[in-house]
Amino acid sequence: MLNILIVEDDPVVANAIFQGGSQAGYACDCVHDGMAAADAIDGKPYDLVLLDVMIPGVDGFELMEYIRPTGIPVIFITAKSAVQDRVKGLRLGADDYIVKPFEMVELIARIEAVMKRYQKGSVELSLGDVTVNTQSHFVTKAGQPVHLKAKEFDLLVFLLQNRGLALFRETIYERVWQKDFLGNTRTVDLHILRLRQKLGWEDRLVTLNRIGYRLDDSL
């Protein structure tokens, strides 16, 4: 499981990132200023820091100078959208730079991309009696193995990492199949149907009219 430190002084944004990261299977801690972030990094090994720029005390750019020697990957999350700010953040050593407002599904995708470069990632995801090992591609339901095709497995992992979120069909297709969406929803719909049948998720995999699907994690 990835250990992620969220450094964000806006409680609404911090909570949204915390909830989204936790639902994706990450272990998240949250602090609200630069000095608290430095103390947290000194006290615990983190796999990734999600760092706001405009935070009290030591700002994000200054804190990046402190983080860089540790080798911990950093994604800036900030309202500072000017090109010179993005360039500065990346030149300071950040791995990515995402501008507010953003969709949680985009943030999760960027986290995955950075972690893939560092060969880190959540090994096990679970929901109810379904458990997925992302390393061995082994899926079980109530302790019994479930045999999924490659894209069924990729779709399941994507849904688990974005549980509770409304996902457009085109977003699902582009992320799972890694191709541009050309308007044909049958591929996504068929794979959703197969997952429902194989996992008994008729009620958990919810169809959203004219949108797509949501994996309900409240049942």
Write out the two tokens for 99: 């501008």
Would you tell me the crossing angle of helices 60-67 and 83-91 to the nearest 10 degrees? Answer: 20
Asked if 110 and 179 sit in the same domain, the reply is no
- What pLDDT score was predicted for residue 82? 86
Residue 174: domain span: 124-215
Give the residues of the chain that fall short of pLDDT 50. Answer: none
Asked if 151 and 105 sit in the same domain, the reply is no
- What pLDDT score was predicted for residue 68? 87
- What pLDDT score was predicted for residue 121? 62
User: Which of the listed residues 96, 117, 138 is the one where a domain comes to its end?
Assistant: 117
Amino acid at 210: R
Amino acid at 174: E
Asked if 211 and 142 sit in the same domain, the reply is yes
- What pLDDT score was predicted for residue 120? 65
pLDDT in tens, 162-202: 888 888 998 899 888 878 877 778 899 999 999 999 999 99
Asked if 107 and 187 sit in the same domain, the reply is no
CA geometry: angle 162, 168, 172, nearest 5 deg? 60
